[in-house]
Amino acid sequence: MKYLDEYRDARIARALLAEIAQEVRGHWVLMEICGGQTHTIMRYGLDELLPKNIELVHGPGCPVCVTPLETIDKALELASRPDIILVSYGDMLRVPGSTNDLFTIKAKGGDVRVVYSPTEALKIARQNPGRGVVFLAVGFETTAPANAMAVWQAKEEKIHNFSVLVSHVLVPPAIRALMTSSECRVNGFIAPGHVCTVMGYEEYEALVRDFRVPIVVGGFEPVDLLEAVLMLVRQLEKGEARAENQYVRSVNYEGNLPAQRVVKEVFEIVDQKWRGIGTIPASGLRVRDAYGDYDASRIYGLASITAEEPAECISAKVLQGLKKPTDCPAFGMRCTPHNPLGAPMVSSEGACAAYYNYRRDLAVR
Amino acid sequence: MCLAIPGKILSSEDLGLARSGRVQFGGIVRQVRLDFVPEANPGDYVMVHVGFAISKVDEAEAQRTYQLLAEMGALEGELPPEENQ
Ligand code: SF4
């Protein structure tokens, strides 16, 4: 496919690897933020092809992984009600809540439906006027415009049985939280290309300034990621710290303004809890009061549900790049994609699942 | 979850509240919302995420960077393979 296959070209990848090997002197710890990027790195073994003094650590950019336990529990409660149809992206079905997951509720007769797009959730609402249709709206900045559009359109079309259970997270405040932590070893970031497609990368300038850390917006194919690594290495070797863009075919500085507009119209920024990590200031979105009739948390009185994380899972450290999945005692033993203890093992973009799929041998210690 | 894939717009139409179009991904054609890419027309490539186009692929930029990268790869092809790397 055009704009896909050519960015998997082995010849170009080899040339980039050679260039990186030639330019790198120091030992650099680089973090890719997005789980999609982690998946590509593991799938193509880029971490093993890079020179030894470049260490890749994996960031918190898997929305499925960081959706708070209590949001899952709220979804489970809604899905158990006969008057409600719970609609979700497929990745969320196996995410463990406190006692259960959506898949189990569905098997027991709960009406849980999987969609690819929020517009399908809206369609289900139109077709079932007698029942409440709740869409589990999770995601990063990339997904927020589509989810916001569904809410905006529901209001315009006066579809009163549609609502969203929102868990939306924002990347720049998470990078700030990571950099502020005393344990942080990261020397440079690969910023998530599709988040920046929507938001642009102006916001990253402040992070570059405040922490003197280079940030390169990167794409998702092997050639994209290797080029982003090369751009980071060049900056680091020269002692520079700038916000740069590797993913120019999709990202510009301001981002997608019509998409940002609908997000602003429907959502407002709030402090947000990240599963395993805790609350990060101004790092999430919630439905504005003007659209309160479409906010499932409000209309179904769910606000009081809270929950604690299971102790064994070290996903907090994994999601902050402080530990590798293979450092977890449960990895591949008590925790597998079929029977996940923590969310990073559920989604294919979770670091634990990526390691399980492509690096299971490393767990044999 | 933030996956977005490139596809080529085959046709577009305005549906009152929405702008939508048929987009081709390899051999597959899907209906995609084009609300966020008002500048994109049939023949253009867009990046598509959860049923919505989130950017129009900048063909000139893509061409330029890919050319640079390909030259890098071609140069590497001139060298004896896999030596003292
Ligand atoms: S392997 Fe499982 S238990 Fe361990 S950190 Fe990953 S998700 Fe949690």
- 3-state SS track over A127-151: HCCCCEEEEEEEECCCCHHHHHHHH
Q: How many residues does chain B have?
A: 85
User: Would you state the pLDDT for residue A365?
Assistant: 41
Q: Which of A326, A327, A335, A360 to mutate to test the pocket of ligand 1 (most atoms within 8 A of CB)?
A: A335
Contacts of A221 in chain B (CB under 8 A): none
Strand B19-25 with B28-33, pairing: antiparallel
∠ at Cα A47 (A42, A52), nearest 5°?
165
Evaluate whether A85 touches A134 at the Cβ level (below 8 Å): yes
Q: Is A341 in the pocket of ligand 1 (CB under 6 A)?
A: yes
Q: Cβ contacts of residue B16 below 8 Å, gap of 6+?
A: none
What is the Cα–Cα distance from A116 to A54, expressed in whole angstroms? 36
∠ at Cα A347 (A341, A352), nearest 5°?
60
pLDDT surpasses 80 at B75: no
For chain A, the domains span 1-309, 315-362
Structure tokens at A236: 């680091």
B26 touching chain A per CB within 8 A: yes
Q: Cβ contacts of residue A342 below 8 Å, gap of 6+?
A: A65, A96, A276, A310, A313, A315, A335, A352
Distance of CA A79 to the CA centre of its chain: 23
User: Would you state the pLDDT for residue B83?
Assistant: 43
User: Would you state the pLDDT for residue B33?
Assistant: 97
What is the Cα–Cα distance from A168 to A170, expressed in whole angstroms? 7
A168-214 pLDDT, tens digit per residue, is: 999 999 999 999 988 899 999 999 999 999 999 999 999 999 999 99
A363-to-A49, A217, A330, A351 alpha-carbon distances in Å? 19, 31, 10, 14
Model ipTM over 0.95:
no
pLDDT surpasses 90 at A64: no
CATH of region A1-309? 3.40.50.11740
What is the Cα–Cα distance from A321 to A318, expressed in whole angstroms? 5
Strand partners of residue B45:
B8
Res. A128 pLDDT band, cuts 50 70 90 = very high
Q: Quote the pTM value.
A: 0.92
User: In this structure, which amino acid lies at residue A359?
Assistant: R
- Number of neighbours of residue A10 by Cβ within 10 angstroms: 11
For residue A346, which atom of ligand 1 is closest to its CA? 7
Structure tokens at A262: 């609908």
Q: Kindly state the average pLDDT of the residues A239-246.
A: 97
Comparing C-alpha atoms, which of A333, A349, A72 is closest to residue A341? A333
Closest CA to ligand 1's atom 3 = A313
CA of A97 to the centre of ligand 1 (A): 14
User: In this structure, which amino acid lies at residue A216?
Assistant: V
Evaluate whether A345 touches A356 at the Cβ level (below 8 Å): yes
Lowest mean pLDDT among A60-69, A276-285, B63-72: B63-72
A19-49 pLDDT, tens digit per residue, is: 999 999 999 999 999 999 999 999 999 999 9
Q: Kindly state the average pLDDT of the residues A243-267.
A: 97
B35-74 pLDDT, tens digit per residue, is: 999 999 999 999 999 999 999 998 888 888 788 888 877 7
What is the Cα–Cα distance from A26 to A284, expressed in whole angstroms? 36
User: Which residue does chain B place closest to A4, by CA atoms?
Assistant: B6
Closest CA to ligand 1's atom 1 = A331
Lowest mean pLDDT among A82-91, A212-221, B62-71: B62-71
The 3-state DSSP class for residue A77 equals helix
Edge-to-edge strands of the sheet including A267-274?
A112-115, A84-89, A132-139, A162-169, A278-287, A267-274
∠ at Cα A62 (A92, A345), nearest 5°?
65
User: Would you state the pLDDT for residue B78?
Assistant: 55
Average pLDDT, chain A: 93
A224-to-A41, A211, B69 alpha-carbon distances in Å? 11, 25, 10
What is the Cα–Cα distance from A206 to A354, expressed in whole angstroms? 31
What is the Cα–Cα distance from A151 to A156, expressed in whole angstroms? 9
pLDDT surpasses 90 at B26: no
Interface of A with B in 273-332 (CB under 8 A): none
Q: Kindly state the average pLDDT of the residues A128-156.
A: 97
User: Would you state the pLDDT for residue B77?
Assistant: 55
Res. A61 pLDDT band, cuts 50 70 90 = confident
Interface of A with B in 219-248 (CB under 8 A): 220, 223, 227, 248
Evaluate whether B21 touches B31 at the Cβ level (below 8 Å): yes
